[in-house]
Structure 1
Amino acid sequence: MAVSSYIETDRIILPLRETNGPDGIRICVLPTEAQTAIFAARSIINIPIHKPDATVTFATGNTMVQPYAELARLTATMGVRWSDIRMNHLDEYGGASANDPESFARYLRERVTVPLGIINAHFMNGTADNLEHEAARYESLLTPADLVILGIGPGGHIGFNEPQTPFDSRTHVVQLSEETVSRDTARGQTKRTHAITQGIGNITEAAQILLIAYGKQKAEYLRPVLYNDITPDCPASALRLPGVGPKVSLLLDCEAAAWLNL
C-alpha cells in the first residue's frame, strides 16, 4: 500500500514530514487531525482499487471515525467497489451483542460495511457462551491480511493486546487491564472485564499495517513504541520486529508527533 496524497478542493494534502523511522517504519506527519484522517482514507482506498479481493482488518474507536467517514465519501465519489473485499474484525468486548451501541460489530456495520458495501464481513460474537471457543472459531477463519488498520492505546496496546501479550499470540480472550476498564467506564460505558482480540502475531503477519494517531496523549504512547526496547511490555513495539517495520506506516498529526525524533 503506497501512502498517497489526496486532492481536496484543488488543494494537495501532503505530509509536513515523511521519513523512515526506527526499524524501517514509515512516519508521515500531517498538520491537523482532519488532514491526517483524509490522508488515511486516501491510503486505505488504494486497497480495493489495486486488489479488489483483498482482506482488510478494521480497527474501531474515536480515532477511526473521521477516516471512515472520509472513506465512505471517497467510495461514493470515486465509484470504488468493495463487494469482493473481505473484512475482518480486530477485537470485540465480551458480553457485547452485535446490536449493542458499545459493540465494535455495530460500529463497523454503521461506519464500514454498510457505507462501503462490504458483503464478505466476518464478525466476532461477543455474546458467545464460551469466549475461548469463539476466539478459536474466529482464528480458524483468518488468513494473513493485506492491510490491518490500527489505533494505539495506553501502554502501547494495539487491538486489545495489553502489555505482556506474547508477540506470537493469535486470536485470544484477554482480561482487560484496570486502566482500560477505568478509561471505558469514565466515558460512561458498561463495565466489561474481558474481550476477544486478534493477537499480535495476526497483526504483524499482514502485508501492510497502517496506524493512525492524533493528539498529545497519543504522543505519550508512541515515543516508547519507537525508541524504547522491543518488548511485550509495550505491545506496539512488535511493529518494529525484523521484517515487520518496513510494512508499517504511521499517520500522525503534529501533536501526536510532537515527542518524536524527526
Structure 2
Amino acid sequence: MIKEFKAGQLTVKIYPERRAMGNAAAAMISATLRRLLEQKEAVSIIFAAAPSQDEMLEALVKETGIEWSRVHAFHMDEYIGLPADAPQGFGNFLKQRIFDLLPFRTVNYIDGSGTEAACVKYGCLLQAHPADIVCMGIGENGHLAFNDPPVADFNDPLPVKIVELDEVCRQQQVNDGCFATLAAVPTHAVTLTIPSLLQAPHIFCVVPGVRKAMAVYDTIHQNIQPQHPSTILRNHSGATLFLDAQSSDQLSIQKKG
C-alpha cells in the first residue's frame, strides 16, 4: 500500500519500507526509459551517487527490455581532491553499482580535478546530450546534487560549477559512513547546477531514511527558495518524490494515515 499526493506540481509517493520504495522507483524509471526509447534514437540519464540510491540502482540494473546501448550516462557531482581510486568518489560509486554493469552507449564522468576548464567541458557534454531523466536524492540540508543552501541558485547561469560544501553536507557524508571523520571529507566539489537538473523533463527523486525526514518536510512545506533548494521540485511537473515510512515521518499526511 502506498500513499500519494501532490505538492504543487511535484508528485509524492510514500511506501511502507525502503526496499519497496526503491523497487517502485526503478520500475517507474524503466517504464519512462522504454517509452522514451520508442520515441528517440538515444536517451540521456543523470545519476546521483549516494547510499539513498542503493535499492533503486540495484533494482534498475535487473530491469529487462531496455536497450542500454542507446543510453548516455552522466553523474551529477564529484568531490575535488580525492585520489582517483578513492571508494568515496561518486564516479567510483556509480561505476561499481551501475556504470560497469550495463552496456551504456557512453559513460561520462565528472573530472574531479577542480578546474574551470573541466567544468566547461562537462557542460558541453550535457549540452550535446541534454538530459531526459534525472535520478537524484535530497541532502539532509535540502541540497540537490551539491547545491547546498549557501550556493544554490535557481537561476544559475552555469551548467556546472565548483562549490564549497557546507558543514551539514559534509557531516552527512560521515553520517552515511562514507568518511570516518568530518576532517576527512573534502571541502569543495564539482556539481551540476539546479537549472541543469531541472531542465530534464523527468526527475525521479529517491529519499529514504529517518535522517532525511526534516529535509522532506521542508521540501513540501517551506517556501520555494534557495535556502531550501529541494523546494524547487514543487515547480516541476515531471518530478516524482519517492519516500519510505521513515523519511515521510514528519509529513502530516503520513501522521493522519
The TM-score, its normalising length taken from structure 1, stands at 0.85
Once the 2 structures are TM-superposed, how far is the Cα of residue 121 of structure 1 from its aligned partner?
1.1
Partner of 1:33: 18
Structure 1 range deviating more: 91-100 or 168-177: 91-100
Q: Secondary structure at the match of 1:250?
A: strand
Is 1:166 the counterpart of 2:153? The answer is yes
Instruction: Tell me how far apart the structure 2 counterparts of residues 255 and 181 of structure 1 sit (CA, whole Å).
Output: 22
Q: Secondary structure at the match of 2:121?
A: helix
Alpha-carbon distance change, 179 to 19 in structure 1, aligned in 2, over 3 angstroms: closer
Is 1:247 the counterpart of 2:213? The answer is no
Alpha-carbon distance change, 251 to 184 in structure 1, aligned in 2, over 3 angstroms: closer
Partner of 2:72: 86
Is 1:132 the counterpart of 2:116? The answer is yes
Q: Secondary structure at the match of 1:251?
A: strand
Contact 2:49-2:91 within 8 A present in 1 as well: no
The residue type equivalent to 1:219 in the other structure is A
Identity of aligned residues (%): 26
Once the 2 structures are TM-superposed, how far is the Cα of residue 98 of structure 1 from its aligned partner?
4.1
Instruction: Tell me how far apart the structure 2 counterparts of residues 18 and 185 of structure 1 sit (CA, whole Å).
Output: 32
Instruction: Tell me how far apart the structure 1 counterparts of residues 172 and 46 of structure 2 sit (CA, whole Å).
Output: 24
Partner of 1:7: none
Post-superposition CA distance 1:17-55 (Å, at most 9, x none):
1222x2121111111101001111111212432223211
Is 1:191 the counterpart of 2:185? The answer is yes
Once the 2 structures are TM-superposed, how far is the Cα of residue 58 of structure 1 from its aligned partner?
0.3
The residue type equivalent to 2:117 in the other structure is H
Contact 2:141-2:168 within 8 A present in 1 as well: no
Q: Choose the corresponding residue for 2:28, options 43, 52, 70.
A: 43
Alpha-carbon distance change, 168 to 19 in structure 1, aligned in 2, over 3 angstroms: same
Partner of 2:202: 208
Instruction: Tell me how far apart the structure 2 counterparts of residues 255 and 56 of structure 1 sit (CA, whole Å).
Output: 28
Once the 2 structures are TM-superposed, how far is the Cα of residue 79 of structure 1 from its aligned partner?
4.2
Partner of 2:132: 146
Post-superposition CA distance 1:117-170 (Å, at most 9, x none):
2131111111x3x52221121112113311111111122001000003111223
Contact 1:131-1:196 within 8 A present in 2 as well: no
Once the 2 structures are TM-superposed, how far is the Cα of residue 88 of structure 1 from its aligned partner?
1.3
Q: Secondary structure at the match of 2:88?
A: coil
The residue type equivalent to 1:173 in the other structure is I
Contact 1:48-1:82 within 8 A present in 2 as well: no
The residue type equivalent to 2:93 in the other structure is Y
Partner of 1:59: 48
Q: CA RMSD in A?
A: 1.7
The residue type equivalent to 1:158 in the other structure is L
Is 1:69 the counterpart of 2:67? The answer is no
Contact 1:97-1:125 within 8 A present in 2 as well: no
Instruction: Tell me how far apart the structure 1 counterparts of residues 174 and 211 of structure 2 sit (CA, whole Å).
Output: 18
The residue type equivalent to 2:154 in the other structure is F
Q: Secondary structure at the match of 2:111?
A: coil
Instruction: Tell me how far apart the structure 1 counterparts of residues 173 and 212 of structure 2 sit (CA, whole Å).
Output: 17
Instruction: Tell me how far apart the structure 2 counterparts of residues 185 and 221 of structure 1 sit (CA, whole Å).
Output: 17
Alpha-carbon distance change, 38 to 185 in structure 1, aligned in 2, over 3 angstroms: closer
Once the 2 structures are TM-superposed, how far is the Cα of residue 185 of structure 1 from its aligned partner?
4.6
Structure 1 range deviating more: 28-37 or 211-220: 211-220
Instruction: Tell me how far apart the structure 2 counterparts of residues 147 and 255 of structure 1 sit (CA, whole Å).
Output: 26
Gaps of 5+ in 2: none
Q: Secondary structure at the match of 2:242?
A: strand
Instruction: Tell me how far apart the structure 1 counterparts of residues 209 and 174 of structure 2 sit (CA, whole Å).
Output: 21
Q: Secondary structure at the match of 1:158?
A: coil
Instruction: Tell me how far apart the structure 1 counterparts of residues 67 and 45 of structure 2 sit (CA, whole Å).
Output: 14
Structure 1's consecutive aligned runs of 4 or more residues displaced over 6 angstroms after TM superposition are none
Aligned residues: 239
